[in-house]
Amino acid sequence: MTEVITARGLRKEFTVHVKTGRIRRARRVRAAVDGLDLRVERGEMLGYIGPNGAGKSTTLKMFTGVLTPTAGEVRVCGLRPVAQRTRLALRIGVVFGQRSQLWWDLPLRDSFDLLRHVYRVPAAEHAARLRRCRDLLDLDGFLDVPVRQLSLGQRMRGELTAALLHGPEVLFLDEPTIGLDVVSRQAVRGFLAELGSTGDTTLVLTTHDLADIERLCRRLVVVDQGRVVHDGSIADLHRRYGSRRLVVADLDAPLPEPPVLPGAPLREVAADGRRLVYALESAGVAEVVSGLAGVASLRDVAVVEPDIEEVVARLYGAPAPAAVPAP
């Protein structure tokens, strides 16, 4: 069995009380997650994005046994998360960006030792995993510092280590890069990329930072208002919403008439005709460049990846398509 996560019709409702008058309040039921279907295979790196309140955290909490679903079915590592919570806990790792698994008043090193007891990890295995994390995440400088004195970036590196010391099959990360500075963010991304590259650990991460996704995840799930509005690769997303890679060519001198290239419509003429921008539809970069080089002398050529933020922003709030077409 290689399917690590299976969710069918997963739903979570919350009851909220809305003020409708001076004293009167109405009970409203709001679905934070509204019929989620998802299958994740072993070794996948899945990015989960959506606007605030889209149900990302709620979904992760149902996968990890923290929250009980209102309806639907969910299996993680073949287990039912709430009913078999403690058994599942041994096989998954969880990092909640705004929560901590560490002991606030004790040195970071003590938290790791405590977690060894909590997860009943043999000493040799624990030492080997800790050694690897110390090297990759550069922990040695602050292992003896109480957690409350760590910077956010240091603490997050500690949290990642804490989540991995028992060798989980699936690692759930809720906003792992939120609030981090550029250097820490790079360190965390690099570490996760390395972790995912071995193919043993399945990674599911939610984020607001699309750079996390572009760097780490081949598969992208976009949720909005509790529903999946896209499930596929980043390339699929661009294909589906018509966003194209662009070739930006800077010419030595403007042409009287920009050339028409098959499969690559002209998008923009700038800098008094010295800059031409073509969108790559069916044509490749080489065809566009050689087509241009035949009629003009090129100073510089750049290929610009489409802006994923823009595509995703268009997805949010748009009515969900009836079905997600297969690529």
Partner 1 sequence: MADGRGGTLRAYRALLGAQARSQTAYRTSFAVDLVGNVGATAFDVLTVLVLFGVTRELGGFTLRETLVVVGLSACAFATADLLVGNIERIPQYVRTGLLDAVLVRPLGALPQLLLMDLPLRKVSRAVFGLAVWVTAVASAGIDWTPGRALLVVLAPLAAVVFFGSIFVATATVSFYWVESGQLANSLTYGGRDFTSYPVTVYGGWFRALFAYGLGFAFVSYHPALALLGRADPLGLPAWVGWAAPGVAVVAAALAAAAWRVGIRHYRSTGS
Please give the Cα distance from 254 to 264 (Å, whole number): 19
* Residue 301 engages partner 1 in binding (rule: CB under 8 A): no
* Residue 64 engages partner 1 in binding (rule: CB under 8 A): yes
**Among 111, 99, 39, 42, which Cα is nearest to 66's?**
99
Q: Pick the closer one to partner 1 by CB: 171 or 234.
A: 171
Q: Which stretch binds partner 1 (CB under 8 A): 113-121, 250-258, 297-305, 317-325?
A: 113-121
- Candidates 4, 67, 203, 210: give the one binding partner 1 (CB under 8 A): 67
H-state helical runs in 217-307: 234-240, 285-293
* Residue 212 engages partner 1 in binding (rule: CB under 8 A): no
Q: Which residues, including other chains, have CB under 8 Å from residue 145's CB and lie 6 or more apart?
A: 107, 108, 154
Q: Which stretch binds partner 1 (CB under 8 A): 95-103, 252-260, 297-305, 307-315?
A: 95-103
324 in Cβ contact with 239 (< 8 Å) = no
Q: Which residues pair with 30 in a beta bridge?
A: 14
Q: What is the CA radius of gyration of the chain?
A: 24
Neighbours of 249 (CB within 10 A): 21
- Candidates 90, 145, 289, 301: give the one binding partner 1 (CB under 8 A): 90
Q: Which stretch binds partner 1 (CB under 8 A): 83-91, 191-199, 244-252, 287-295?
A: 83-91
Taking CB under 8 A as the criterion, which residues in 148-207 touch partner 1?
174-175
DSSP annotation string for 131-163: HHHHHHHT-GGGTTSBGGGS-HHHHHHHHHHHH
Q: Pick the closer one to partner 1 by CB: 212 or 237.
A: 212
* Residue 257 engages partner 1 in binding (rule: CB under 8 A): no
- Candidates 36, 45, 103, 247: give the one binding partner 1 (CB under 8 A): 103
Footprint of partner 1 (CB under 8 A):
14, 53, 57-58, 61, 64-68, 82, 85-87, 89-90, 92, 94, 96-101, 103-106, 110, 113-114, 117-120, 146, 174-175
